[in-house]
Amino acid sequence: MPAVIESLETLLVDLPTIRPHKLSMATMACQTMVIVRLRTSDGIEGLGEGTTIGGLSYGPESPESIKRNIDAYLAPLLVGQPSSNLNALMARLNRHVRGNPIAKSALETALLDAEGKRRGLSVAELLGGARHTHLPVLWTLASGDTRKDIDEAFQRLDDGRHCDFKLKIGANALEQDVRHVADIKAALGDRASVRVDVNQAWDEATAVRGIAALQEAGIALIEQAIPAREQAGLIRLAERFRVPMLADEAVADARDGLDLVAGGFSGAFALKIAKAGGPRPALELAQLALTAGVGLYGGTMLEGTIGTAASLHAWATLPEMAWGTEMFGPLLLKDDIVAEPLRYHDFGVDLPAGPGLGIALDEDKLTHYSRK
């Protein structure tokens, strides 16, 4: 008799960051994760994570709504169902619940983790097999202080942790942001590439001015300079400048990717399991991009170790990621809730080994950081 899903538990976990993390829409000093513990009738537990940025400042799902919607709407659709047929289970969720991609991503991750443990296979193997066991990881400089960001970048270079950097801009006046970025790039020179993430903060006219100056300063990639819904404007920017555009909030899933490609977009897509609704739909977007000649970038919602590991298992199956990954979320946190942290070295991170995600919880720390 096939194993069925017996229970789904969700926990809100609050972990402090190592420093304030400044974005255009929020400044973070703590990250809240929704941890999913899925248990099946044969005694297997699958782990998942749903994480967003800055409460409701980033998107329509908050940690509290993710937990509430899983508990009230999504979990009842899964409990009592056979646990192995992911296609049927996720189709059931999508048929009855609109949207909520972060919540669905956490559940798909937990289902994959449980099935991998049952079969003795890693999540990457369930997704077709890993082509890579070590993936490059950039670091985001987001203190907002130019001198601090330069010192932090050199420290990361000297430690062999990161050799590519992204700057969060858009919260300040255009000229101030451009000067901040240009000074950091000038200080780093050829030792590292520098990209920027505007987090949708500019209108198209401002973006034209800003991107021209950033291109002149030697910036390698411009991420989501204008609002997500302005796809036509993003395509115009990609056609106008030599520096590539990275679509992030504008491209959640394969349908968004198809619309951009059909409109003539050239540049890159930021893949995120949270915005796609899970590792598998994120890989559907990746395959579309590869077919269309659009570059790939492994994005993060600043997840902890569980969500980061799920992304790594997905990205490891891809032939190449032209722009690397930003799977540094656990490094931004002062502590962790897992027994063994991910291994970061040589400007990247190792794919976790073992069945499922290859991640086990530290129960004491989970209890300590769980919201009461």
What is the domain extent for residue 203? 126-350
Mean pLDDT, residues 53-66 taken together: 91
What's the structural domain count of the chain?
2
Tell whether 296 and 177 lie within a shared domain.
Answer: yes
The one-letter code for the residue type at 113 is D
How far apart are the C-alpha atoms of 15 and 193, rounded to whole Å? 30
The domain that contains 91 carries what CATH number? Answer: 3.30.390.10
Tell whether 208 and 70 lie within a shared domain.
Answer: no
User: Is residue 115 pLDDT above 70, yes or no?
Assistant: yes
Q: Quote the percentage of the chain above a pLDDT of 90.
A: 92
User: Is residue 23 pLDDT above 80, yes or no?
Assistant: no
User: Is residue 22 pLDDT above 80, yes or no?
Assistant: no
Q: Decide: pTM greater than 0.85.
A: yes
**Domain-embedded: residue 303:** yes
Mean pLDDT, residues 72-77 taken together: 98
Catalytic one of 67, 117, 166, 168: 168
**Domain-embedded: residue 167:** yes
**Domain-embedded: residue 356:** no
Give the bridge partners for 122, in sequence order: 356
**Domain-embedded: residue 357:** no
**Domain-embedded: residue 332:** yes
CA atoms 215, 217, 221, 226: torsion sign: negative
User: Is residue 279 pLDDT above 70, yes or no?
Assistant: yes
Among this protein's residues, is 230 annotated catalytic? no
Tell whether 58 and 191 lie within a shared domain.
Answer: no
How far apart are the C-alpha atoms of 242 and 312, rounded to whole Å? 30
User: For 303-350, how does the pLDDT look when each residue is reduced to its tens digit (9 = 90+)?
Assistant: 999 999 999 999 999 998 999 999 999 999 999 999 999 999 999 999
Tell whether 315 and 208 lie within a shared domain.
Answer: yes
Tell whether 99 and 228 lie within a shared domain.
Answer: no
Among this protein's residues, is 168 annotated catalytic? yes
**Domain-embedded: residue 355:** no
Q: How confident is the model at residue 1 (pLDDT cuts 50, 70, 90)?
A: confident
Q: How confident is the model at residue 361 (pLDDT cuts 50, 70, 90)?
A: very high
Catalytic one of 49, 249, 303, 326: 326
